[in-house]
A and B are shown apart, each in its own frame.
Chain A
């Protein structure tokens, strides 16, 4: 109970700080929406092959951009946030206080997840209102589970990648280069219907495609079951555990010069 209180307090202060920078907060929230609008403008008339039938392209883009939202909020923001806090000595300063490490990092991660949830709601609402996409109802439990495992996996990855980030100057390059190419080959920005098999095989090594496909199942109008994708969730869980091990083993409190 006391642990939950410590964590809640950290999240509260992270949140206080987040909203004190309105331009940053605004663009964080609008960023995925812009992708949703742009991709629908470009590919609006095309269709996508889903398990069970053919659907309009927005049925592909709503779960795709939901994946982007969670990855951006958790992976990118956690990695950048930790890299910058480390550079500024904030991590080292806090390490000298009685606050446990898990609470410091847990606070950052939980706040990132909360922002991710806001983005998911915004994107899903836009999908329903403007793109005629049905809200998952029967698949809602599977959708929520996928989001939980997805946020956990990409937050853990975000923490793990900071081990490879020597300092804040290198953070944007490393964090973006490690995720952007994957977004293109993982059914997030573009459907991989016509892609060569080796490319999808390659993409399947990483958690991004498993996440977007699992989300797709929740929005698939031809889905007759619960939309649960244990195989995809399993791969993500493996990445989560591996990332946590790397993060715990190689975490650094100070930037390298």
Chain B
């Protein structure tokens, strides 16, 4: 395998070519390519059942692949080598720890598995559990347990951290807190691969995003690139009186004179709209200009792929 030798910091953390995974007749992953440089926060975004977890579990070494080339930190995860496991951290979607150990003891237990772990207090601080170090795991809240999951993933000071749906089931404020925590990992220079089905999560955290739908990557790039590539600015407004003329391309949106313009050239469209309104002497009420969001891109891609790939 070229381009992914052990040790060279310049080599990408993850190189995947033509990865496939089938369960019987069902193809869960259908030939995907990935390239994750070191130090990047990379998100795999997709709806439930898209193959996100299957993909990361192959990268982690938990699942055997059916085909393709995979190199993670220069290792083939399929070999499940100890030296590979020493250099990665894994936060599974759901996995408990011994409920009768304290937070501090749990971190200590896992730290002991690694040759060069992070200090216990550093780990606790990173995930915001310093105050809970003496609390038994069974007495933690759901959000705190998830933080402990991340803490265990970080205990060995991994070069690469996998986070499988880190905030699924969180309430909005807990999610915010978790995001701040994950963002904080960037300053440690770690490579992070996370899966999520929350658009905002990918948007907020990731340097680059791969959108996975039905086992295939339908788009990949930075959030800005993805948004620029696919989506449109939307201009909402309401007028009383004259209808907007055809060249404005305004579609009625509901009743009471509400309209929406969807465009890739927001500046020009807005100029035409306001020009018309001034000429007519009408007021544009409830005027909003919404930047394209990753959600729009995601929905358009997931939708179109669904039509092509569906039975």
Residues of A within 8 A of B (CB): 9, 13, 16-18, 20-21, 88-90, 92-93, 95-100, 253
Q: Which residues of B contact A100 (CB under 8 A)?
A: 82
Contact of B152 among A21, A93, A99 (CB under 8 A): A93
The residues of B that contact A93 with a CB separation of less than 8 Å are 90, 92, 95, 97, 152
Q: How far is the CB of B176 from chain A (nearest CB, A)?
A: 26
Q: Which residues in A have their C-beta under 8 angstroms from that of B156?
A: 97-98
Interface residues of B in 117-155 (CB under 8 A from A): 136, 152
- Residues on A with C-beta less than 8 A from B100 are 16-18, 20-21
> Could you tell me the distance in whole angstroms from the C-beta of A240 to the nearest C-beta in chain B?
27
Q: In the complex, are the beta carbons of A16 and B105 less than 8 A apart?
A: yes
Q: How far is the CB of A128 from chain B (nearest CB, A)?
A: 33
| A92: chain B residues within 8 A (beta carbon) | 62, 92, 95
The size bracket of the interface on B is 20 to 34
Q: B61 is contacted by which of A9, A17, A96 (Cβ under 8 Å)?
A: A96
A16/B101 in contact, CB under 8 A: yes
**Binary contact readout B142-172 vs A (1 if CB under 8 angstroms, 0 otherwise):** 0000000000100010000000000000000
Bound Cα distance A90, B156 (Å) = 17
Whole-angstrom CA separation of A90 from B236 in the bound complex: 51
Q: A residues within 8 A CB of B85?
A: 96-98
- In the bound complex, do residue A97 and residue B62 qualify as a contact, i.e. CB atoms below 8 Å apart? no
- Using Cβ atoms and an 8 Å threshold, which residues of chain A touch B115? 98
| B86 contacts chain A at the CB level, 8 A cutoff | yes
Report the minimal beta-carbon distance from A9 to chain B, rounded to whole angstroms: 6
5 nearest A-B residue pairs (beta carbon) = A89-B95, A20-B100, A96-B90, A88-B96, A93-B95
Q: Which residues of A contact B109 (CB under 8 A)?
A: 13
Q: 25 A-B Cβ contacts within 8 A?
A: A16-B105, A20-B101, A20-B136, A21-B100, A88-B95, A88-B96, A89-B92, A89-B94, A89-B95, A90-B97, A90-B98, A93-B95, A93-B152, A95-B62, A96-B60, A96-B61, A96-B90, A97-B85, A97-B114, A97-B156, A98-B113, A98-B114, A98-B115, A99-B113, A253-B62
